[in-house]
């Protein structure tokens, strides 16, 4: 890996599912002035632990320091800085209802998604794909004048 300061990094942290753990984990980034671009947290099924996925930008040296400090936090069980991973992100997009519903559905299908809700005046689409493809989907969706866009954040698993 290059030692670029702006290199994108994805880190997974397995923690005890208890209050204030997330605040302590994110404080390590804030203390160094590094922005978290994406943060997802969910309980691990059939356990008392949670999985935190953090996407950020930084140098290899900085990530190594943060990883070492994350290991020192009491409720942290595992820290992985992903190199070979499968990562996905979800986005929900609300469009005004129009005659181009089939075009919106086709666009969504191209990005592993589809229409998930249709109302009288709007349609909601969902897409789940790699973060770069989510960015491209959002750019392509602009031609249909979206009313609202909500991104869900990155989840990743080591290959």
The tens digit of pLDDT for each residue in 26-54 reads: 888 888 777 899 999 999 999 999 999 99
For 40, residues 6+ apart whose C-beta sits below 8 A from its C-beta are 52, 53, 152, 153, 154, 155
Let me know if 111 is exposed, middle or buried by CB neighbors in 10 A (0-12, 13-18, 19+).
buried
Question: How does residue 83 score in pLDDT terms, banded at 50, 70 and 90?
Answer: confident
Tell me what pLDDT residue 71 has: 87
Is pLDDT larger for residue 50 or for residue 59?
50
pTM of this prediction? Answer: 0.82
Q: Which residue has the tokens 């994406």?
A: 38
In angstroms, rounded to a whole number, what is the distance separating the alpha carbons of residues 70 and 79?
Answer: 7
Q: Is residue 88 a contact partner of residue 94, using CB atoms and an 8 Å limit?
A: no
């Amino acid at each position: 890996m290059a030692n670029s300061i702006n290199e994108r990094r994805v880190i997974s942290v397995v923690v005890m599912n208890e209050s204030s753990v997330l605040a302590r984990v994110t404080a390590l980034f804030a203390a160094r002035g590094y922005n978290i671009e994406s943060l997802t947290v969910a309980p691990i099924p059939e356990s008392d632990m949670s999985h935190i996925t953090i996407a950020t930008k930084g140098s290899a040296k900085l990530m190594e320091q943060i990883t070492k400090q994350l290991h020192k936090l009491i409720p942290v069980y595992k820290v992985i800085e992903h190199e070979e991973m499968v990562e996905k992100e979800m986005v929900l997009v609300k469009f005004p209802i129009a005659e181009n519903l089939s075009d919106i559905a086709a666009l969504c299908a191209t990005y592993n998604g589809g229409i998930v809700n249709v109302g009288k005046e709007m349609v909601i689409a969902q897409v789940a794909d790699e973060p770069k493809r989510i960015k491209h989907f959002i750019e392509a969706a602009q031609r249909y004048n979206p009313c609202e866009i909500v991104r869900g954040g990155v989840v990743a698993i080591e290959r």
